[in-house]
Structure 1
Amino acid sequence: MTYYEIKPGQLLQQYVKCYYVYESSSHVTFGDTVFPCGCMEIVFNLGNGNWQTQPGDEFVTTPPIELWGQLNRPLPVRSIGRNTMLGARFYPHAAASILPDKVNLFNNQVIDYGAIADKSVNTLQEQLRETKTWNKRIALLEAYLLQQIEHAGKRLGKVDVVKDLMYELRHQDIYETMETIATRYGISARYMQQLFLQYTGLTPKLYSQINRFQHSLRLVRNRNTSLTDIAYECGYADQSHFIKEFKAFTGTTPSGYSINNSPVTLATVQPAETSPVLV
């Protein structure tokens, strides 16, 4: 399995966290679990294999162009055959700039983006399949995204407000309330929550919880920090609270989690500047 990330062009860096390429070069089927990360993704399947998710009791094959909504619980996945995937991972505030409806409508789903977007995305899928070099594929994807953002119009104003609010929450003082943050922007806490749901798919509280969980996950992966210290560093009330929230987002406890049993996670923890990771 190969996974690597590509930095977006300057015009899209405030919207796109990264592009990524995932390739499975064998017919071996393997499973994994995707955890909540606060980001939404559009993924183009350019290979001959299948990618499957398990939202309920059974696995279902995902469409050729996947829209990954916000996850607030773990989602089992499975790779079958020779997959070649090109993904765009958006910052939490940015997916609303290319979606035709409220972002929270897509939570905990992997849906057919080609069915809800305009026809140009299906044309893009065909062009990506016909194009053989990754540089040209990225150029085609960037041109499409820039066009979609141009069409977003008035939505972009509120997207910028949500972006600023997210920054406030990430750097929030432990004693500061949502009401205090909202007041600084001249809005009510209730309206702040509505903005978040519409433009990120998350409430401010859930966004903060996922952000905190992701920080704790990085520390758990390192295996050189006690659970008590992780709980304290990440702002949990106590170790019990940390373990409970970790299990809600991963399906396992911190002590039971092993990155070696998670090939997708093992690949994606690598920084974007590194060379492709072979697993």
Structure 2
Amino acid sequence: MEILPCASLAPYIKNYTIVTINQNLDNEVFYPSGYVDFIINISEGAAATIINGKRKDTPEIELLGHLTLPTRLTVAKGTSVLIARIYSHASALFFSDHVSEFTNYATDMYDVALNENRELYSRIMESKELNSKINILETYFLQQLKKNESQLKKVLIVKAINQQILFEQEQLNLPALAKHSGLSERYIQKLYLSNVGISPAAFTSVVRFNKSLQLVLNTSKSLTEIAYDCGYYDQAHFIKEFRKFTGITPSSSRSSLIKNDTDFQQAVNIGF
């Protein structure tokens, strides 16, 4: 189930999604999405995130930062989570910590702000209706937005550069981006590390990967066709980049989806 945010949050949060797992999942591939996910376990189910081979049990509230390393999920049947998917440019509006600290990591939000997040979780769990849970979460985000509004100018700059990268979608031309934005290349690099958590080059790679992933999962195009459609040098380059993010080949990903077409995959493995 997908729910859109209120108008005040729509520029910063893509959606809220409820995911309920109807079968045990073990080492399920989790694809880099280009978003930051704020995840609340609203059930008594258990889950774990394995990033680059390192396992971490999912806490009550978790922030899953930008992923550029192979990631797997292990989830028990019956687990339900509420996910707020935050646009790549917007994380600094909701979290005071340097955003790069969350990159390639599943952070227990109690380690970030114990009392604040424990109170948030208690209020969400006390509420029985889904709409009420969403309203409580939106109130939290609106409070964070007000607290960090000094970051808004930089966030809007990053958003504008992101839109240019999304438009190009193939190769990063940092000098051209700098000229277009009137900023120095060094400043753009700094903006991305502090507001997105990854470099402009890494973000571009994730954008290109997501374009290729949709073609792998939703079309019958050959890998060579997909490689050239997405701006890779050749099929070998495409496969290498795909494996860097996921640990598997595009062909394996395509076969896995056909074999295990779960609601979970449809709900959480959606990028741009």
TM-score, normalised by the number of residues in structure 1: 0.89
1:182 aligns with 2:178: yes
**Paired residue type of 2:20:** E
1:41 aligns with 2:40: no
- Paired residue for 2:125? 129
What does residue range 1-279 of structure 1 map to in structure 2 within 5 Å?
4-24=1-21, 28=24, 30-55=26-51, 57=53, 59-117=55-113, 119-172=115-168, 177-257=173-253, 258-259=256-257, 260-261=259-260, 263=262, 264-268=264-268
For the Cα contact (< 8 Å) 2:5–2:16, is it kept in 1? yes
Please state how far the C-alpha of 1:139 moved relative to its aligned partner: 0.9
Distance 2:39 2:130 in 1: 14
**Paired residue type of 1:8:** P
CA displacement 1:149-180 (0-9 Å, x = unmatched): 00002111101110001111112386872112
Q: Residues 122 and 158 from structure 1, CA distance in 2 versus in 1: closer, same or farther, beyond 3 angstroms?
A: same
- Paired residue for 1:277? none
Secondary structure in structure 2 of the residue aligned to 1:21 = strand
Distance 2:214 2:174 in 1: 26
- Structure that is richer in helix per residue: 2
For the Cα contact (< 8 Å) 2:2–2:15, is it kept in 1? yes
Q: Residues 20 and 31 from structure 1, CA distance in 2 versus in 1: closer, same or farther, beyond 3 angstroms?
A: same
Q: CA RMSD in A?
A: 2.1
TM-score, normalised by the number of residues in structure 2: 0.91
Unpaired stretches in structure 2, ≥5 consecutive residues: none
Distance 1:92 1:204 in 2: 11
Q: Residues 136 and 186 from structure 1, CA distance in 2 versus in 1: closer, same or farther, beyond 3 angstroms?
A: same
Distance 1:148 1:58 in 2: 30
Number of residue equivalences: 267
Q: Residues 137 and 98 from structure 1, CA distance in 2 versus in 1: closer, same or farther, beyond 3 angstroms?
A: same
Distance 1:148 1:117 in 2: 12
Please state how far the C-alpha of 1:186 moved relative to its aligned partner: 2.1
**Paired residue type of 1:261:** N
Distance 1:135 1:33 in 2: 30
For the Cα contact (< 8 Å) 2:170–2:208, is it kept in 1? no
For the Cα contact (< 8 Å) 1:42–1:88, is it kept in 2? yes
Please state how far the C-alpha of 1:118 moved relative to its aligned partner: 6.3
